């Protein structure tokens, strides 16, 4: 913001407005404020305001000595607006039509400052306006804006059409805003525009030299609220550079932490167990380990079957042997039947 203000001070109208609000350091005729009959003349806020006003009268007189009639009128118009704006907005608690008669008292100071030079056509002092001119601050504001635009047009043209000029983006921004504001006012208040002596050629053709299109300092807005701009060619270069970097940009993707309380852990464990089981089954079928196990199991079965058959044979042999012994020991046990003899 400070850089913007310093750059715009190159414009005479802006520099003058800035000077009107400077702190009072040296004032030769500020004693005029002490001769007022106003009851508030001893209040600090009014003393500061009145001293600042007298100092500005001295400033305008000094500046206008080397200016044309149009510029002198513009400076006096700016001073009038400064007074009205201060009373209405800065000291908002004070009403213009109140019994304090703030404007009337300041006009008395103005008359005392001018003295006998009031009727001198060659005087660089501003003519004292009538009280009726301080009744419509909006009209006064419109006229000041139009007057400033018309005065600054030539200066801004020289700044914006040069090939190389520092802070050109600031002037482009300022001119664009001023152009839009002026065109809107002049369109609705064409009569007011024609009343301003240095604005006659702008009231219908708002940009006669087509500065917006011919400017060598076209800029692109970055931050509207902060009035930050960049030159169009610089913006295009940065855009191309950013696009080239974007194609090979690596982007870090954040992966959420994996814990056993996560549902995904259960699914992963089940799949792992299933995979282990299938792996063992595959190894069993595809490796010699299967034939070795089958061989071992087959041998065990043969031995078991042989053992069972041998046990059965031994049982039968034991039975036969026992039976033979019984028969030898007991002999034939056959009873004699006497009836057979009788039949003979």
Identify which of 175, 172, 231 has the alpha carbon closest to the alpha carbon of residue 207. 175
Please give, one letter per residue, the 3-state secondary structure of 298-311: HHHHHHHHHHHHHH
Long-range contacts, 175-178 (Cβ 8 Å, 24+): 175/211, 175/212, 175/215, 176/212, 178/145, 178/148, 178/149, 178/152
At 98, is the secondary structure helix, strand, or coil?
coil
Q: Which pair of tokens denotes residue 75?
A: 């400076």
At 337, is the secondary structure helix, strand, or coil?
coil
For helices 69-85 and 44-64, give the axis angle rounded to 10 degrees: 170
pLDDT band at 105 (very low <50, low <70, confident <90, very high): confident
Q: Is the pLDDT of residue 336 over 50?
A: no
Flag whether the pTM goes above 0.95: no
Instruction: Tell me the C-alpha distance between 154 and 12, whole Å.
Output: 11
List pLDDT tens digits, range 225-276.
545 555 556 666 666 666 566 555 556 656 666 565 667 777 888 888 888 8
Of the two residues 13 and 237, the one the predictor is more confident about is: 13
Bridge partners, residue 229, by sequence:
221
Q: Which of the residue ranges 21-25, 74-78, 220-224 would you say has the lowest mean pLDDT?
A: 220-224
At 52, is the secondary structure helix, strand, or coil?
helix
* Beta strands at 228-231 and 219-223: parallel, antiparallel or unpaired: antiparallel
Give the pLDDT confidence score for residue 224 in this predicted structure.
Answer: 54
100-118 b/e with 16+ CB inside 10 Å = b?
ebbbebbbbbbeebbeeee
Q: Which pair of tokens denotes residue 208?
A: 């006669």
Instruction: Tell me the C-alpha distance between 203 and 175, whole Å.
Output: 16
Beta strands in 150-249 (DSSP E): 219-223, 228-231
Task: Classify the phi-psi angles of 227: left when phi > 0, otherwise alpha if psi is within -120 to 50, otherwise beta.
Answer: left
Instruction: Tell me the C-alpha distance between 87 and 81, whole Å.
Output: 10
Identify which of 128, 140, 244 has the alpha carbon closest to the alpha carbon of residue 189. 140
Of the two residues 155 and 307, the one the predictor is more confident about is: 155
Every domain of the chain and the residues it spans: 1-135, 136-238, 264-330
Among positive and negative, which fits the CA dihedral 211, 217, 220, 226?
negative
Residues 6+ apart with CB under 8 A from 17: 78, 82
Helix, strand, coil proportions of the chain in percent (round to 5)? 65, 5, 30
Find out whether 52 and 87 touch, Cβ atoms under 8 Å: no
Helix (H) / strand (E) containing 54: helix 44-64
What is the percentage of the chain residues whose pLDDT exceeds 70?
62
Q: Is the pLDDT of residue 100 over 70?
A: no
Q: Which of the residue ranges 58-67, 102-111, 233-242 would you say has the lowest mean pLDDT?
A: 233-242
Give the pLDDT confidence score for residue 20 in this predicted structure.
Answer: 94
């Amino acid at each position: 913001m400070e850089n913007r203000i310093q750059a715009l001070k190159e414009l005479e109208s802006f520099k003058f407005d800035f000077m009107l609000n400077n702190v009072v350091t040296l004032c030769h005729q500020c004693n005029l404020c002490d001769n007022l009959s106003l009851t508030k003349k001893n209040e600090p806020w009014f003393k500061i305001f009145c001293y600042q006003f007298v100092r500005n009268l001295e400033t305008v007189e000094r500046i206008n000595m080397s200016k044309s009639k149009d510029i002198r009128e513009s400076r006096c118009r700016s001073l009038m607006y400064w007074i009205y704006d201060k009373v209405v907005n800065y000291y908002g608690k004070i009403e213009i039509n109140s019994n304090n008669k703030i404007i009337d008292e300041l006009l008395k100071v103005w008359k005392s400052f001018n003295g006998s030079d009031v009727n001198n056509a060659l005087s660089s002092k501003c003519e004292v306006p009538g009280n009726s001119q301080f009744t419509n601050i909006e009209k006064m504001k419109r006229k000041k804006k139009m007057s400033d635009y018309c005065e600054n047009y030539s200066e801004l043209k020289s700044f914006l059409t040069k090939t190389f000029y520092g802070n050109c983006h600031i002037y482009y921004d300022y001119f664009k805003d001023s152009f839009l504001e002026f065109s809107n006012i002049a369109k609705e208040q064409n009569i007011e525009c024609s009343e301003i002596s240095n604005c006659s050629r702008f009231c219908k053709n708002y940009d006669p030299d087509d500065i917006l299109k011919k400017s060598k300092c076209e800029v692109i807005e970055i931050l509207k609220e902060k009035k930050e701009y960049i030159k169009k060619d610089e913006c295009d270069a940065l855009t191309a550079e950013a696009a080239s970097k974007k194609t090979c940009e690596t982007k870090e993707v954040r992966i959420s932490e994996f814990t056993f309380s996560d549902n995904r852990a259960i699914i992963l464990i089940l799949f792992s167990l299933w995979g282990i089981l299938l792996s063992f089954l595959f190894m069993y079928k595809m490796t010699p380990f299967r034939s070795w196990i089958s061989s071992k199991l087959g041998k065990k079965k043969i031995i078991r079957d042989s053992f069972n058959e041998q046990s059965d044979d031994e049982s039968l042999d034991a039975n036969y042997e026992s039976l033979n012994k019984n028969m030898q020991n007991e002999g034939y046990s056959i009873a004699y039947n006497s009836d057979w003899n009788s039949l003979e």
